[in-house]
Each structure stands twice: as C-alpha cells, then as structure tokens.
Amino acid sequence: MSATTSAHRVSLAVEPLAGSIGAVITGVDLANLDDATAAEIRAVWLEHLVVFFRDQELDADQYFAFARRIGEPVRYPFVKGFDSHPEIIEVAKLPHETVNFGGIWHSDTVYLEQPPMATMLLAREIPPYGGDTMFANMYAAYESLSPGLRALLDGLRAVNSSALADVSKTREDRIRDHGAADDERHFESVHPVVRTHPETGRKALYVNPAHTASFEGMTVDESRPLLRHLFERSVRPEHTCRFTWAVGSMALWDNRCAMHNPINDYHGFTRRMHRITLAGDTPC
C-alpha cells in the first residue's frame, strides 16, 4: 500500500477473487486506519460487492471501530450480542451440530422494513477444512435476464417473511439457547423485486430463496415458477465467488446487491465467527 496522506487518494492492493464479484484487499491493518484508507476501502467494496481481508488481529473494540467507518452498527433482532458490544454476535456451529447458521442462499433479514445495508464477519475459529462462504452478484443476475423479463420485474414487489426459514431448517436467524426475548416474533415486508442501489444507482434483483414467499398480489403457487427461475439464475457460477476462511479473515458484503451462502460441509468441527450488521434504508 502506498504512503497515505489526507491530501492523496490511497492506492490499496486489490486482488479480484472472481470475474463477477469479490476482491481481497491486502496491505492494510484494519486496527489502524486513516480516513483516506477507510474511504478507499469503501470505494473498493462498492465496486466488488464483497471484500475480504486476511490476518486481522482485531479485538472487539477495534472490530467495532472499523464497522463504524463503513456504516452504523445495529443490534441483531434474534440473537443476544456480547455484553460489552451488543451489536456483535457470535455465529457458531459446534462439533455435535449438523445445521449451520444461515445455510441457504439469502440476503440478510430482507423481511425487515429496513434491511441491513451490509454485514461483516470475522473468523475466530475455523474447521480444518470446509466452511467456505459463497457470494452472488445480484446486479449481474438482473442484467443477465431478457429485456422483456426485466421490464416485467421492474414493476413487481415481493412479499418476504421470516417464517419461511423455519421450513428450510437452516434459518438464518435460528435461535439457540442465547436467543433474544423477541425470538418468537415473525416479520414480514414487501419490497421491490428489483431495487436500485442508493449509492451506485445500479439495479439488482432483490429476492432470495430463504425469505421471498411470493409476488405481491399473487399466490405462492402462482409465484413459485418465476421465483425459482430467478433463484437459479442468481447463483449461476459466473455470478458467484467462493471464499476460504482462516483465523483473522474478515468479509464485508453489501446486502443491497449480493446474496451469500455458508457451505455446511464440516460436521464434527467448530466454526466460530463474530458478526456485525450495519443499518440500511427502505429499498426502492
């Protein structure tokens, strides 16, 4: 990384992970950032949708401080955070468990009226193999559709429900023993099927298998064939990347234009991550 001053644009080392989405940023210590470097990271993130960092020895205060450079950390509604940092939750799968946290393609908590802008995940303990996370570019998914289908979708809205994930048994907000007091509540929202990113101005598909139940004004059965087509189109290999974690790895992804899917292929081992969610706006 080049020397940084407040008067010069920072030049980070950026290594694309795949052709459509994802980049690894190297040569930066997230515990010691100046404003110019933080701004450059944010610009790279908006371009690549998800960015990754390696070998970040961050304590909770440093992790939270970096999150505040990107957005506004908020409490996750279903899992109690740490007493010292309520906005940080632990996402863990233990050796005796067979279901992982969020093990399905999704964008985080779309069933909220104001879904999170972004999510950050920091690896604290990883299995000896497996446990990768995949990401999908929802700009590319939308742009790959025919002009006629894009025109149809531009006028549709989708019903999203937290109850759907109960059926999948891989509920992204699955409650463990440390669930929050309101963990039995169900949430439902109606958002555009195609949302316009408030910062880039680009259009992205905004439906996902974990939470999108139907199109507004249509039945679930009527909606299912087209939704299935959109879900399959979204995760074509050319629209995705796959990240292999190590202790100290961190990911920052944009929920407004990307889906993710943690792969559940490490039974018998522990995978322990710390997560921060950043406040978003009302999709439009």
pLDDT tens digit sequence for 41-63: 999 999 999 999 999 999 999 99
275 is known as an active-site residue: yes
Catalytic residue among 48, 171, 260, 274: 260
Catalytic residue among 106, 174, 191, 197: 106
d(CA 278, CA 284): 18
Q: What is the pLDDT of residue 78?
A: 77
Catalytic residue among 174, 211, 274, 275: 275
Residue with tokens 């001053």: 5
Q: What is the pLDDT of residue 11?
A: 67
DSSP letter (8 states) at residue 144: T
pLDDT > 90: percent of the chain? 83
Whether the pTM exceeds 0.85: the reply is yes
Spell out the domains of the chain, with CATH numbers in brackets: 13-278 (3.60.130.10)
Average pLDDT, rounded, for the chain: 91
106 is known as an active-site residue: yes
d(CA 61, CA 41): 19
Q: What is the pLDDT of residue 9?
A: 44
Q: What is the average per-residue pLDDT within 143-158?
A: 97
Model confidence band, residue 73 (pLDDT cutoffs 50, 70, 90): very high
Q: What is the average per-residue pLDDT within 161-181?
A: 56
Query: Phi/psi zone of residue 217: left (φ > 0), alpha (ψ -120 to 50 degrees), beta?
Result: left
Instruction: Give tens-digit pLDDT for 206-230.
Output: 999 999 999 999 999 999 999 999 9
Query: Quick check: 88 and 81 in contact, CB under 8 A?
Result: yes
Catalytic residue among 108, 174, 254, 256: 108
108 is known as an active-site residue: yes
* Bridge-based pairing state of the strands 23-26 and 50-53: parallel
